[in-house]
Amino acid sequence: MKKALKILIVDDDQMVLDSLKALLKIKGYEIDTTSSARDALRLINQNIFDLALLDVMMPEMTGFELLDSLNRESLDTMFMIMTGDTSMDFAIEAIRKMANDYIRKPFEPDELLVRVEMVLKQKKMRDERKNVEIEKKNLEKQLQHSQKMETIGTLAGGIAHDFNNMLGIIIGSAELALESVNNDDPVNKYINKILTASTRAEEMVKRLLSF
Render pLDDT for 118-159 as a digit per residue (tens, 0 to 9): 999 999 998 888 888 888 888 778 777 777 767 766 666 667
Alpha carbon distances (Å) from 82 to 54, 116, 139: 6, 12, 42
Q: Is the pLDDT of residue 84 over 90?
A: no
Look at residues 77, 17, 14, 15 and name the one whose alpha carbon lies nearest to residue 46.
77
Whole-model pTM over 0.85: no
Length of the chain: 211
Residue 18 zone, left/alpha/beta (φ > 0; ψ -120 to 50; rest): alpha
User: In this predicted model, which residue has the larger pLDDT, 16 or 97?
Assistant: 16
Element (H, E) at 54: strand 51-55
User: In this predicted model, which residue has the larger pLDDT, 76 or 183?
Assistant: 76
Structural contact between residues 85 and 66, judged by C-beta atoms closer than 8 angstroms: no
Looking at residue 157, its pLDDT comes to: 66
Look at residues 46, 47, 48, 66 and name the one whose alpha carbon lies nearest to residue 56.
66
Model confidence pLDDT, tens digit, residues 152-180 = 666 666 676 777 677 677 777 777 777 77
Element (H, E) at 79: strand 78-83
Sheet holding 51-55, edge to edge: 30-34, 6-10, 51-55, 78-83, 101-104
| DSSP state letter for 98 | T
Look at residues 112, 194, 208 and name the one whose alpha carbon lies nearest to residue 159.
208
Going by pLDDT thresholds of 50, 70 and 90, the confidence category of residue 1 is low
Q: What CA–CA distance (Å, rounded) separates 17 from 187? A: 97
Structural contact between residues 79 and 55, judged by C-beta atoms closer than 8 angstroms: no
